[in-house]
Amino acid sequence: MSYIQLELTDLAVAALLVLLNAGLSIALQLKLERQLVIATLRMIVQLLLVGLVLTTLFALVSPFWTGCAALAMVLFAGREIMARQERRLAGFWAYGVGTGCMLIAASLVTIFALTTPVQPEPWYNPRYALPLLGMILGNTMTGISLGLHTLTSSLVRDRVAVEARLTLGATRREAMLPVTRSALRSALMPIVNAMAATGLVALPGMMTGQILAGVEPAEAVKYQILIMFLIAGGTGLGATAAVLAGGLRLSDRRHRLRLDRLAPPRG
Partner 1 sequence: MSGSRMLAVERLRSPLLEPVSFELAAGECLPVSGPSGSGKTMLLRALADLDPNRGDVRLDGQARDAMPAPAWRRKVTYLPAEAGWWAETVGAHFADWPAAEPAVVALGLPAECRDWPISRLSTGERQRLALVRALVQKPRVLLLDEPTSGLDSAARTVVEEMISACLAAGAAALWITHDDEQARRLAGRRLTVEQGRVSEAPL
Closer CB to partner 1, 55 or 171, in the complex: 171
Shortest distance, position 68 Cβ to partner 1, whole Å? 41
Helices then strands, counting H and E runs in the chain, come out as 9, 0
CA dist 44 and 230 (Å) reads: 29
Shortest distance, position 165 Cβ to partner 1, whole Å? 6
CA dist 146 and 131 (Å) reads: 23
Shortest distance, position 63 Cβ to partner 1, whole Å? 46
Shortest distance, position 250 Cβ to partner 1, whole Å? 13
Closer CB to partner 1, 87 or 165, in the complex: 165
Residues binding partner 1 (CB under 8 A): 158-171, 178, 252, 254-258
Contact 101, 243 (CB under 8 A): no
List C-alpha distances in Å: 101 to 141, 241, 245: 10, 6, 9
Closer CB to partner 1, 102 or 162, in the complex: 162
Closer CB to partner 1, 100 or 178, in the complex: 178
Closer CB to partner 1, 15 or 161, in the complex: 161
Q: What b/e sequence results for 160-196 when a residue is b if at least 16 CB atoms lie within 10 Å of its CB, and e otherwise?
A: eebeebbeeebebeebbeebbebbbebbbeebeebee
Shortest distance, position 64 Cβ to partner 1, whole Å? 45
The residues that bridge with 198 in the sheet, in sequence order, are 202
